[in-house]
Structure 1
Amino acid sequence: MKEKISLSKFTLIISTLNFLLFHYGFFNFVFENIDTKSFNGILMIVSLLILMVIANFFAFYLVLFLTRIVGKILLSITFLLSAISVFFINTYSIIVDESMIGNVFNTNYEESSSFFSFKLILYILFMGILPCIFIFKTKIEYPTVKQFFKTWGLSLLPILLLVGINAQNVLWIDKNSKYLGGLAMPWAYSVNTALYFVHKAQENREEIPLPDAQILNNEKSVVVLVIGESARSQNFSLYGYEKNTNPLLSQTEGVTHFPATSCATYTTAGVKCILSHNDSGDLYEILPNYLDRTGVDVIWKSTNSGEPPVKIEKYFNGNDLRKDCEGEDCGYDGILLKNLKEDILGSTKDKILIILHTSTSHGPLYNTKYPIEFEKFSPVCTSVELGNCTPTELINAYDNTIVYTDYLLHKVISELQDLEGYKSSMIYISDHGESLGEKNLYMHGLPMSIAPKEQYEIPFIVWTNNGKTKTLKSANQGCIFHSVLDFLSIGSPVLEKELSVFGK
């Protein structure tokens, strides 16, 4: 019969294993952001090393004593989740904060499956499954209640002592709390998942209705609002990029572009901001729902996800659009443009809003987001592990998604130009930007307080057949709601014309 080991010894082994396997990113950040040659810096590093092991011992010891076999199951789950988390931390330099947890719960299968790789399997196998086998095969001798409280209480003392002697480092810890909290396992995802659901429960799940609006005239008007995905302005030649990623838009009359920033660095918050009349954080009635209620013909087509609740009759997601689709466009965002002109001409209403929610520049497999004929720049990155690609390969693949975006937007404009008797406009804005290896960061999702400009400087491109757009030094996603209402001649108490890009 296999000899049992004490609960305290088992917990210490597991806590040390958790520290060794899952905290390279945590301490890499600490070493890069602290003076390792000063006494205070050395004290901080040693304290964090000890604190990481003891804090997990404190929590694991409690859970295992109280729940026994259930505790083993919970512990195994944390190792599996930590293995997956550190794969993304080490591969894409993300941090697991509350917004990243929101991304996880709002990611569809198509997006999540694009991250699958052999490296991910190795992480799950060696950092997740093998520790789980050890956890379940080990026989534990549980202490008496008195012994438990004695050991548990003694483990609390060094935690309090370490916190006390590092009082002078409180400002540094507070300044870097988002990074530290998003890299410590299993606290990063366990605490932030709880916070995510608490804040979700606090949100107004029923939209706060906006004051009634009215259509001011019967002039036939149409706006096609294209919501981009992960597009950053610095890779658009319209914004001065040295590579010609906008060969069509740059030659199109009536196109204006504005320097713009996003409200956030992840889709759910970015799209909500685009569709809202203000960035209060409350769930007010969003643009498509508001205009649909007002009498505008609103159509939503999406190959993406993460939008607030869209409550209109003509809502079509990727599965709806692909049902009877034939041809190359069915696998790309070109599917969103199918029957665009027919939708407009078939409308019985004077005011039309069509929203196209794209996924064109979503990573990591940028090379799969465009048809091969749009591979203008090569060689391209074909790996989900972006750090394995050369900077040239990664940028080329991403730039090709911008070339394809240029084509899609030009096609929308061409369709609108063919209409007779309509005042028409195309508005394009991205939900957020994208990091492509700068500062060893990839993709998006960092908190705005620490996010680099690549993740929030976005393209905002407008075309109109009457040429009446303002000259703005800067804009943001909050301009969209007011611009659409203004262009369609919708009167509303919440309309702020100074935020509209239309008019002289």
Structure 2
Amino acid sequence: MLRHNVNLVHFVLVASAINFIFFHYPFFKYAFTALDYKTLGGTTIIVSLVIAMLLANAFVLYLIFFFSRLVGKIVLTFFFLVNAIAIYFVNTYHVLIDPTMIGNILNTSYDEASSFFSFQLMLYVILLGLIPVVFIIKVKITKETFKRFLPRFSLTFLFLVLLVFGNGGNWRWIDKNSPQLGSLAMPWSYVVNTSRFYLDKFKENKKVLLLPDAKIKDPVKSLAVLVIGESARRENFSLYGYEKFTNPLLSKVEHLHSFKATSCATYTTAGVKCILEHTNSRKLYEILPNYLYRNEVDVIWRTTNWGEPPVHIKNFHKKEDLNKGCEGQACNYDEILLKGLKEQILASKKDKIFVVLHTSTSHGPSYNTRYPPEFEKFAPVCTSVELGECSQESLVNAYDNTIVYTDYILSRLIEGLKELKEYNSTMLFVSDHGESLGEYNLYMHGIPAAFAPKEQLEIPFLVWLSDGSKKLKPNEILSQHHIFHSILNFLAIESPIYDENMNIFK
């Protein structure tokens, strides 16, 4: 076949069919579970989806290849390689390639991305990506004349239009399930949703909206530390009744209070934005650290993670900054966030200090690499990035060990704050989102919040207070947006946008 010229129509039909066979099992698996395919209406939808999938992809390829066979080969090569990677993650972690997931991908650091590397991923890329690409590159395609192109293009377009209108009675079902279907159709899931992501970003980030000026009401030395957890789900904290003792140290800490909370999103960038903004909005308002820094509060940000909105302060320290001069095992884990923190606080010349520690402790899939060996309290543990291949027990054990390590970090932080007796201090711990550990055959996070399982939304909200500082209201259920207004209250910051209803302190 490769030695002879191939008709363009035959080529795009074969390419569309291979794309259909290789990459659309999850698409039709969802369709079969979401409708009654044994009825006439269900059968009509399935048949229409098959025809539309095959014909629409061939139609687009036909158009591209007609104008340029070189561009067509480049585009098709890109599609097969990216499709192979995308379908691996869909099959392995049961993700949806929607604008939310596109945001996760585009904001993923190298360290996090490399943790997903596996032999199975390479097999997907080789078998479903590279091998078809070799044929795409080598095949010789005959040039199509405009005389043949126009009627074929027009008739195919007309047929697709008639197919759409012929399914008028099924539009309600298609519209209801379009988020899931659109997130599983290759390559359109990532092509369309990447465009949607950047369009939304453009609308959101036209200009950061500054908040009205604030002022400090008193000279009392106050210190507020916000710890942003990563993928910490409430269900696995023994402070909330979990049967495994994952909080052996925090359970003994006086003046520590635990509240139920729900995240507003299931991915880091949106979750952190919710924690730092004063109200739930798609607009990019000035976030808490920038606002406090602009209004004469000393702000320190330390992170081993990523995904925060733009932070405009002097003392912003990434992992590589904290690693300078660091020796010992702790430098490889989130304990590094505490290195030199006390000294940095004592060096401040201001009465009001706000510290943010952005952790990465419970981020998957390699949970077993997120804590030092001595914190492997529960065994056996999952050591594979192919989470579906691990037993449920070993997967949960590895995750629970990250919570044990989080418990240790927070307890060490609190002990350090107790030593700063000249400050009224508080520590608030809240996670960016939760995590799935195989429930409903889902792993990690990133399912759109509208239909995400509770495991990805229910998060811990812990508050510690030093002696003689504040008291807490009788709160029950909190949100990530309580952080902004509670920090303003604790630091005695008077602001026109302060909302007493969103403050947790008396």
CA distance in 2, matches of 1:112, 1:346: 37
CA distance in 1, matches of 2:395, 2:68: 48
CA distance in 1, matches of 2:296, 2:149: 67
Partner of 1:84: 85
Partner of 1:49: 50
Partner of 1:238: 239
Deviates most, 414-423 or 85-94: 414-423
CA distance in 2, matches of 1:205, 1:487: 32
2:494 partner letter: G
CA drift of 1:289 comes to 0.6
CA distance in 1, matches of 2:206, 2:414: 36
Q: Percent identity?
A: 56
Partner of 2:443: 442
CA drift of 1:162 comes to 2.6
**Do 1:257 and 1:462's aligned partners in 2 also have CA atoms closer than 8 Å?**
yes
CA distance in 2, matches of 1:361, 1:471: 29
Greater than 4 Å deviation, 4+ residue runs: none
Partner of 2:494: 491
CA distance in 2, matches of 1:248, 1:207: 41
CA distance in 1, matches of 2:149, 2:476: 65
1:70 partner letter: V
Partner of 1:471: 474
CA distance in 1, matches of 2:384, 2:86: 19
Partner of 2:407: 406
Matched residue SS, 1:449: helix
Q: Go from structure 1 to structure 2 and tell me whether the alpha carbon gap of 1:467 and 1:291 turns closer, same or farther (over 3 Å shift).
A: closer
Q: Go from structure 1 to structure 2 and tell me whether the alpha carbon gap of 1:205 and 1:403 turns closer, same or farther (over 3 Å shift).
A: farther
CA distance in 1, matches of 2:237, 2:440: 21
Partner of 1:105: 106
CA drift of 1:204 comes to 2.7
**Do 1:361 and 1:401's aligned partners in 2 also have CA atoms closer than 8 Å?**
yes
**Do 2:223 and 2:425's aligned partners in 1 also have CA atoms closer than 8 Å?**
yes
2:324 partner letter: K
1:297 maps to 2:298: yes
CA distance in 2, matches of 1:471, 1:407: 27
CA distance in 1, matches of 2:450, 2:500: 29
CA distance in 1, matches of 2:418, 2:170: 62
Partner of 1:482: 485
**Do 1:236 and 1:246's aligned partners in 2 also have CA atoms closer than 8 Å?**
yes
Q: Go from structure 1 to structure 2 and tell me whether the alpha carbon gap of 1:131 and 1:82 turns closer, same or farther (over 3 Å shift).
A: same
2:478 partner letter: A
Deviates most, 258-267 or 40-49: 40-49
CA distance in 1, matches of 2:205, 2:6: 50
CA distance in 1, matches of 2:380, 2:3: 57
**Do 2:470 and 2:490's aligned partners in 1 also have CA atoms closer than 8 Å?**
no
2:192 partner letter: V
Matched residue SS, 2:205: coil
Partner of 1:344: 345
1:395 maps to 2:396: yes
CA distance in 1, matches of 2:68, 2:251: 64
CA distance in 2, matches of 1:211, 1:467: 26
CA distance in 2, matches of 1:382, 1:169: 45
Matched residue SS, 2:223: strand
CA drift of 1:378 comes to 0.6
CA distance in 2, matches of 1:414, 1:177: 51
**Do 1:255 and 1:463's aligned partners in 2 also have CA atoms closer than 8 Å?**
yes
Deviates most, 380-389 or 338-347: 338-347
CA distance in 1, matches of 2:461, 2:353: 21
Deviates most, 36-45 or 430-439: 36-45
1:25-57 deviation digits (Å, cap 9, x = unpaired): 111111122112212112211111111111101
Counting matched residue pairs gives 503
CA drift of 1:323 comes to 1.9
CA distance in 2, matches of 1:473, 1:350: 31
Q: TM-score, normalised by structure 2?
A: 0.98
Stretches of structure 2 that go unaligned for 5 or more consecutive residues are none
CA distance in 2, matches of 1:7, 1:347: 70
1:348 partner letter: K
1:357-413 deviation digits (Å, cap 9, x = unpaired): 000000000000000111111101100010000111111111111111111111111
CA drift of 1:467 comes to 5.6
**Do 1:225 and 1:356's aligned partners in 2 also have CA atoms closer than 8 Å?**
yes
Partner of 2:178: 177
